Amino acid sequence: MNTININLDACDGCMTCVKACFANVLRWEKPAMSPVVAYAEDCVHCNVCELSCPRGCIEVIPDFAYMRWSAL
Ligand code: SF4
Ligand code: SF4
């Protein structure tokens, strides 16, 4: 499955990525007040989270083999 890396050291907690992910892969973790990758298996590699993060904290690494077979 795709890998979503979030650099929490650079994250300022704006929640943009959580709001941007239409697949609800990213969720907001209240105790830590930071985004968390909750359902990586649902990620479709649209890259909206990566592109929308104003601090460049997110990197999505696609797994094309997984996406191909999970779509069948
Ligand atoms: S790449 Fe798209 S589907 Fe995957 S976590 Fe980011 S916004 Fe969500
Ligand atoms: S968009 Fe970037 S800075 Fe904002 S909460 Fe998400 S990872 Fe953090």
Residue 54, judged by CB atoms within 10 A of its CB (0-12, 13-18, 19+), counts as exposed
Regarding the beta carbon of 48 and ligand 1, being less than 6 Å apart is answered: yes
Q: What are the tens digits of pLDDT across the range 24-72?
A: 999 999 988 999 999 999 999 999 999 999 999 999 999 988 877 666 6
* pTM, to two decimals: 0.90
**Residue with the nearest Cα to atom 4 of ligand 1?**
43
Residue 22 one-letter amino acid: F
Which residue, among 59, 50, 56, 63, has the nearest Cα to 20 in the 3D structure?
50
Architecture of domain 3-70: 2-Layer Sandwich (3.30)
If one compares 70 and 12, the residue with the highest pLDDT of the two is 12
Q: pLDDT value at position 19?
A: 98
Regarding the beta carbon of 37 and ligand 1, being less than 6 Å apart is answered: no
If one compares 70 and 20, the residue with the highest pLDDT of the two is 20
Q: Provide the residue ranges of all domains of the chain, joining segments of one domain with +.
A: 3-70
Residue 21, judged by CB atoms within 10 A of its CB (0-12, 13-18, 19+), counts as buried
